[in-house]
Each structure stands twice: as C-alpha cells, then as structure tokens.
A and B are shown apart, each in its own frame.
Chain A
C-alpha cells in the first residue's frame, strides 16, 4: 500500500509531463509560408494604453505604427510619402489644406473621414485628457485655448485652469475629406511630422467608449488588433480591406513581449523568435552577432544620437570655452572603433545622417579631436575642480564614458570620473527637477525624421526636452525663423545655421549616431527595417 503510493507520486509528474509534451509540441515549427505562419517580433510592454496620442515610447509605438496609418508615411530611408493624404498643400503661408484619400476604412468598417483626424487631434491637445503628445499641436491656432498650463508644475498644489475651448480654432474639417490647419505662424515643415503616432486618426468608437477601445484598439492601418495577453504578447492580423500601397505579405504577427534583449537574443539565435531590432551589448561585444547570426543580421542607420549634456543652470558649466574644450578632447572615432567595434558612427552635427533637411558639418571642427586646441580653450576657461560624467548604470554606458574620461584626462589633465546612478528613473527625476551637478549622458531618439526634431525640443528656450536649461536668444530667433520660413529649402538652410550657432555654444556635445543592429530567424525573407527601426512589416516574407 505504502509503496504503491510512493510510486504513484513519482509516476504522476512523469506521466503528466509526457501527456503535456505530446499536446504542446510542434507549435510554429511547421513551414506554411506567408499565409499560415505567425511572424514573431521582439517587443516591450507598452507603458500606456494603446491610444496613439498617448504613446511616445517604442513598445507601444511599434503596435500603433502597425495598426494605424497616418497622413504620411516615412520610407525606410526617411523620405516622406503621402499615405492617407491625397495631397497636402500650403494654401497660405500659415495654412495647410489636406485632402484625404477616399474609401479607406477603420477596422470596424466605418469610413476614415476628415472628422476622425480633427477629433483625434483635438482630443490629444485638450489638456484635461492628459495625453503625452499634446505639445505636438502647439503651432496650431487656438492650441492655448484647449491646453492650459499648470501654474506650479504637476507636483504643486495648484491645478491647471479649465481650458476655454474643447477644439482648436485653427483645425477644421471643411468637408468629409478636406482638413484645413491654420497656424499661429507659418510652419511649412508641419507636413513632415504627420507620420508620427500623435497624428493618427481615431474612429468614432473611441469617443463613444474609450475603455473598450483601449481593450481592443481599432485603427486604419495594415494590421488589425486581434488580442493581447499582458506582458506576454500582442497579436495582429493583416487587414484585408487595407487601401494603402504598403499592404503586407505576411498574415499574422505576434509582438512577443520581452523584458530585456538578452533572452530575445538567445531566442533569435535559436530561431524561436523571428525578429529582434536591438542586439544586446553581450551580442555586440567582439562583434559576436555577426557570427552568431551570420547572413541574418544587419546594421541600419537609426534615428538616435548620443550626446553629453551640460546642466547649464549650474554655474560650474556656464563657460562655453570649457564645453568646447571637452568636446574637442574626446576622440569619437577611437571610441566608436575600439569600444563599439565600429557599430556607432561619429557625428559632426546634432542630427543623424539621412533625416529630412539635415546636412553634415553643423558642428565642424568643434566635434573633431584636437587636443592642443582643447587644452588652449580649457586653460582660457579657467575651470577648476574635477569633472564627473554620470549615467544610469543599467544601460551599458560605463565603458564608453570611462574611455571618454580617459581621453579628457589625457588632453586636458583634468580629473574625470564616471559616476553611475542605479536606474534611469532616478537620474531622470533629478534631470527633470534641474538638480544635476554633473555632466550627464543623453540620448535622443527622434519622433519623426526631420532635422527640426533634433533641434527645437532640445535647444530652444523652454523646449519640451531642453533639460539643461540652455537658452540663447540668437538660437531661439534662428530656430523661429526656420520654423516660419516660406519654403522647405529655406527652412532647412536656416536650421543648419541654427545648428552652427548651437555648436558654437556647445550646451550639449553630440558624439555619435546609434544605428540599430537587427537579427532575424532563418525563415524570414526580405527582412529590413522601417524608418522607426522596427521590422518593415510590409515587405517581409516567410520562406
């Protein structure tokens, strides 16, 4: 009796595991081509519900870009092409008239009309809705009537006053397929921004029941939302009635949620995950990824740039000569080659190669390694004490910061150390509160591929990401002039001039652009990356 029970105790799990393996085996391994196979791509958990105007990070952005199509789309080399827009015309210096293509439908079968864009934009801009992307509409006439400022910041006791209006006066749906956008000042480059998540249309269903929409988002894009298991996966399926010319070839996509890239890298290596857009540091070390994923990996120029920020509000860092000296003491080429094995590209400006309107050379010799000139500027600046460069320690930044410190020390005989902080959240809190006392690492991932996005938010007085408190009337004036310029070409010329002015003040040191290294499984064909450096879902196929 006793023996029998003991035996069954051992036998039970064995039997159970045999049964369970029999049921669980074989999933996904059979080849069925584009129609049957589910392509799994790396993803991270969206930080907010999947509402386009509240999605600014890559985890949610990936899904939003797949299930929505905006007025324009960016090609893989960052060109702007009309998508839902039939035409976007500058009808007055301060007015765009946008005509929509007809016949497009949301996934719930309703037509996509001008009203869907206007309502969505008004919703996002209206401050009591607390949408993250509200500031993307600030150039539109009447924005200040719908978006009020909290007089003492979010943490203060006072609340922002109730906005006067719910709709921006400058945004109108003239008829079902025409929108006019009036700006407070001419804003020609507005067109380039329109592919960003903030500008997506929303179906009427959203305004009827936002909660239901959050549970099952309805878009107008090439893929429709099927289901979501929190922190595990998001499943999408091709939308058969999609009218765009980027109709996908694959039928099913699964965004597999990972918490880090390490496990995802192992999965791609073992062909259990189909696409990973960010090879982890352990894979980049010694260029391991090139052998691990031979013939199924590639590096793509990205939209992000690595910078060193000075907290200009701190007296210690207010001398421009000192900041220039640090920039010229750093040998970007050596670091990108020795530390990053050539996987980063030294930059000589504040934006990255290939984005609309950017031309190189904005930083010029101020971004070139020149120890003698650096030393001369440094001595002139009269800086005393030592230099500390800080960053979150969990992001793999230690090596290059220490290398840069070594170079600074060698060129300027200035004591320089790396001061790590445990998490990104901790350091961000101090940055937001303007309490930084050290030079800190920054990285800027552009929202849309335009030079404007690399300058205005970061270096304009009061810009949404101008954390260092940099303020220069000359730069502000030049940027404003560029924003107002009558033609795109003129505007881009002025941005370049502004970039030169910024470099001459060096409130932040541009270092290198950060390309995306992607790897994929051996069953994917034509894998390439979209402008946002995700898998281009419209061209990929399953072998």
Chain B
C-alpha cells in the first residue's frame, strides 16, 4: 500500500509538468494579443506595450517564459496579473467558494442519488422505478443552464424563497440550490449506476448467503450489498468532485458565485495566461489527489482488492 501511494505521488510530477506546460503554451498561442484589447478602441501606446512586455517576460521564447514561471511557482509565487494583483491571492479568495459549492453538489448527488438508486434497485419494476427512471431521464436531457435559469426564476424571482444571486461569501444554505443545479446531472447518473449495480448484486451468492444466515434485511443491504455495489459509484463521484472543483462556469455565472470557474473563464478571455496556468496547476493537483484517494477507497470497500 505504502509503495503504491509513493508511486502514485511520483506520477504526479510528470503529469503536473506536462499539463501546466500544455496549458501555458495553449493560452499564449490563442489568437489575439493581451495588449490588443486592453486600451478599448484605441491602440495601446508603444511605450505602454514595451513596459508591460518587459515586465511579464513576454518577449522571451515560450520555453524560457515557462521555466521562469515554474521557477517562481516552486518558490510559492504564482505571479501577478496585468493589473498587479497576486494570482496566489486571487486563488485563495476564490477557491474556498468553489470547494464549498462542489462539496454541496457532491453531497446532494451522493445522498439523493444513492438512496434513489438503492430503493429502485431493490424494488425492481414498479411505480417508483418508473418515476425515478423518467425523472432522471428528464434531468439528463436538461442542460445545466436551463435548470439554473428556471430555478432562479421560479424560486428566486417569483416565489422569492432564495436570493437570486448569492452573497460574496456564501453560506452552505445559500449554495443549496446552486449546488443542486450543478449536481443534478450527475445525480441522475449516480441513481442509475447505483440502481443497476444493486439490481445485479442482489442475486449474487454472498447476498444469498447473508440472507440464508438470517441477517436482518438492513444489514444485508447496508453492509453486504451496498458496500460492493457502490464501487463504480465512488469512482464516478471521485472524478466528478474533481471536475466540479475545476469550476462550474455556467452555474457560477447564473448565481453570481465568485468561484474558480469564472476566474479561469475571464482570464482566458483576457489572455492572462498566468492566472489560467496558476489555477490549472492547482486543479491538476486536486484532481490527482482526489483520484488517488478514490483508488485507495476501493481497498477499504472491498478487502479483496490489494495494491502491492
């Protein structure tokens, strides 16, 4: 196990270097030029462009730029944006909100999704099964921005139950509806995954044995059946948590949440490669660690799985 973890952590290094370099190059090769749109309908004065180019090492070759950037990064310096804000500060301001939102979304999708999946998986065909089938289909077919706008209109503007946009430092309660919007699609997948998995394992030998031993239904389902059936679901939730933290641009946009998604989006438009790369660096790390954690969870859920 220990060796496995170390191997996985070592894998982080090339993946980290590769992704950050790719992003860095991609952002700077996007069409357009950061100083083309910075002065409105006026061409930026040459002296201004010269000073900025010098300050941000933009006349170096892209490899040298990247190495200079990486050098700063290793000393914990994420660099500065064109208006002199530290990228590290920006990220530390935005990240907590995104993490909160992602956690709310994942909790909603895990709790509702797994419960609905277990219920329908156990019961089999019937009214409840059809209801869940239809409603998950409905959710899957709706793009996030539709769910978002509809809920904002109905709950926010018409019924006035929720604030139409969240405050600057949103509480968990404020994030419930945005979290639902964000997690709704995955919630439908989780339900279906759990349902299929439960339905399959219901007939497995070890479940029959557990029932034959005379264990109470709750223990058979809760411990024996669920534990095995939930492995694919955990894999899904793990990658989902990673991508949700990576930013929910649409949901953040609708509810005015100041998260990481919006930050990346703005920075790409403004060609602020330094911010984009900074955020991506962090995302890569989060993604890799979450996935490592998920892989380790398999062993906890199913003792037959060994890593050495």
Contact = CB atoms under 8 A, between A and B. Distances in A.
Contacts of A130: 45, 47-52
A249 B31 CA distance: 47
A426 B32 contact: yes
A127 B51 CA distance: 9
A372 interface: no
Contacts of A128: 47, 51
Contacts of A425: 31-34, 36-37, 269-271
A263 B256 contact: yes
Given A267-B256, A272-B163, A465-B42, A429 B33 contact: yes
B243 interface: no
Question: Chain A, interface size: which category?
Answer: 35 or more
Given A47-B83, A147-B47, A160-B50, A443 B41 contact: yes
Interface stretch (B3-11, B13-21, B69-77, B166-174): B166-174
B107 interface: yes
Interface string B23-49: 000000001111111111111111111
Interface string B246-266: 000000011110100011011
Nearest to B90: A230
Nearest to B38: A47
Contacts of B40: 56-57, 445
B82 interface: yes
A465 B39 CA distance: 10
Given A160-B47, A231-B85, A263 B165 contact: yes
A162 to B, nearest CB: 12
A322 B271 CA distance: 38
Contacts of A232: 93, 168, 258
Contact of A21 (B49, B94, B173): B173
B65 interface: no
A24 B52 contact: no
A413 to B, nearest CB: 32
A270 B163 contact: yes
Question: Chain B, interface size: which category?
Answer: 35 or more
Given A159-B50, A465-B42, A21 B171 contact: yes
Given A160-B50, A424-B37, A48 B82 contact: yes
A233 B169 CA distance: 12
B172 A131 contact: no
Contacts of B98: none
B63 interface: no
A270 B82 contact: no
Nearest to B271: A425
Task: Indicate the member of B46, B172, B263, B271 with the most A CB atoms within 10 Å.
Answer: B46
A89 B138 CA distance: 73
B15 to A, nearest CB: 28
Given A48-B84, A130-B45, A425-B37, 12 more contacts: A13-B172, A56-B42, A131-B48, A132-B45, A135-B45, A154-B46, A154-B53, A258-B256, A259-B265, A266-B152, A426-B36, A429-B32
8 interchain residue pairs of minimum CB distance: A130-B51, A425-B32, A17-B172, A154-B49, A425-B37, A270-B164, A429-B36, A428-B36
Interface of B: 31-53, 81-86, 89-90, 93-94, 103-104, 107, 111, 152, 156-157, 163-165, 167-174, 176, 223, 253-256, 258, 262-263, 265-266, 269-271
